Chain A
Amino acid sequence: MEDLSFSHKAHERAVGTKNIAIIGVVASGNLEVLAERILPDTECLVEIKTAAEGFGDVWDAVVADFVERTSPGGLKFSINDGGARPDTVSLRLAQAVRLMEDNDQ
């Protein structure tokens, strides 16, 4: 297992009022993303525990691209990864942000 952490400045606060969301499952080629609205509005933190070691550069690029595209300010993402491909990671992160846009609690 490898632990990775990426901290970014976000342009804008993530839309919505939901405080927590979870998407995905931990399985081969899949991952779960837990999103929590617990950071200051301009910050974004992505913490990863992955079964596939040695892919730090790829994670760095995927996370930077995600923050640039969606500006998830105020959100902390915690990921348990079972060796998902970068496109699956991007999809799950986008799904997590979409779930946080809901206003119901």
Chain B
Amino acid sequence: MSAAPTQTAKLPAGRDRTASWYEASARTRVRLLLDAGSFLEFIGPEMREVSPHLQVFDLPEQFDDGIVVGRGSLDGSPVFIAAQEGHFMGGAFGEVHGAKLTGLLRAARDIKSIPVLILFDTGGVRLQEANAGELAIAEIMRAVIEARSAGVKVIGLIGGRSGCYGGGGLIAGCASALAVSEQGRIAVSGPEVIETNRGVEEFDSRDRALVWRTMGGKHRRLLGGADAFVDDTVQDFRDAALQLLRSAGDFGIDTLKAEQSRLEERLQLFGTCPDAVDIWKAEGVPDADAIPALPADQFISLADEVRRINRDAR
């Protein structure tokens, strides 16, 4: 660790922790997030564990099936880590992709003492392997809950181009804590899905401001779905991961009950709000209309004032 600052100082721009999380590949995120040189990959690309389904559709495969899993250290402490590549098939879950994450979580469950970081960047289930992908989501959710029941903290980091949608949003909802950047949208049904099913009057997927306001990091932080809001750099995600590893609470039936009450209260308070801005106003956020344009640092101090995360929930 002591040699790290001098090493990174020599690197060209974008090769150190000031790099944009959004722009970085899954492999770059893993390499820069963890302590330098500490990453050890499981089932690496040289093993060529590719999807058994894509060939049928005459589609190209990727050697790691779009997810990097392994172990390393974060500020000297061991962690398991999984990172989805949002550029390969929208970071979507397929059979092998999902199995790699399930295996990692089950290892964490059995070892008990090593936390898991999941770097989400996904549109949800890969349509070409729908049934296998849906099963993978269910297996992963079960594995997250089993790991947390064994005392393992599972932290989600969300700030990639594909956001965290579909089954990814469900898995994120099972995690101990989440850190999100403004770009990192979290939801289950994506903008196009809602528009297709409910009509453009319900949700205009081309209205980018609406998408970000409804599903983006700022709203998730203010609503309490995400525990930390961070600026779009690897360093900020690293700091947030370390902080959440310290602060994330234990897991049990009381946690679930508290989370259920929080969600019921949320529906009661904001159920009739037609837009995220109305929720912020109902929350008493000063100058709610200015929030979407607020720089990250100003938003973070605002969010800290407005809403303390309920430690019992999540």
Contacts and interface: CB of A to CB of B under 8 A. Distances in A.
Nearest to B68: A22
B69 to A, nearest CB: 14
A81 B60 CA distance: 7
Interface string A26-62: 1100101010100000000000011100000000000
Interface in B14-70: 25, 27, 37, 44-46, 48, 55, 58-64
A91 B33 CA distance: 26
Nearest to A27: B87
B244 to A, nearest CB: 28
Central interface residue in B25, B27, B45, B64, by most chain A CB within 10 Å: B45
B87 A1 contact: no
B62 A25 contact: yes
B88 A34 contact: no
Interface residues of A, number: 18
A27 to B, nearest CB: 4
Nearest to A2: B58
Contacts of B64: 22
A51 B46 contact: no
A104 B37 contact: yes
Given A20-B46, A30-B87, A78 B37 contact: no
Given A27-B88, A34-B46, A36-B46, A78 B60 contact: no
Contact of A49 (B44, B61, B87): B61
B46 A80 contact: no
B59 A51 contact: yes
Nearest to A36: B46
A22 B85 CA distance: 14
19 contacts: A1-B55, A20-B46, A22-B27, A22-B45, A22-B63, A22-B64, A25-B85, A25-B87, A25-B88, A26-B60, A26-B62, A27-B88, A32-B45, A34-B63, A49-B61, A78-B63, A80-B61, A80-B62, A104-B37
Given A26-B88, A32-B45, A80-B63, 17 more contacts: A20-B44, A20-B46, A22-B27, A22-B45, A25-B87, A26-B60, A26-B62, A27-B87, A30-B87, A34-B46, A49-B60, A50-B60, A51-B59, A78-B63, A80-B60, A80-B61, A104-B37
Interface of B: 25, 27, 37, 44-46, 48, 55, 58-64, 85, 87-88
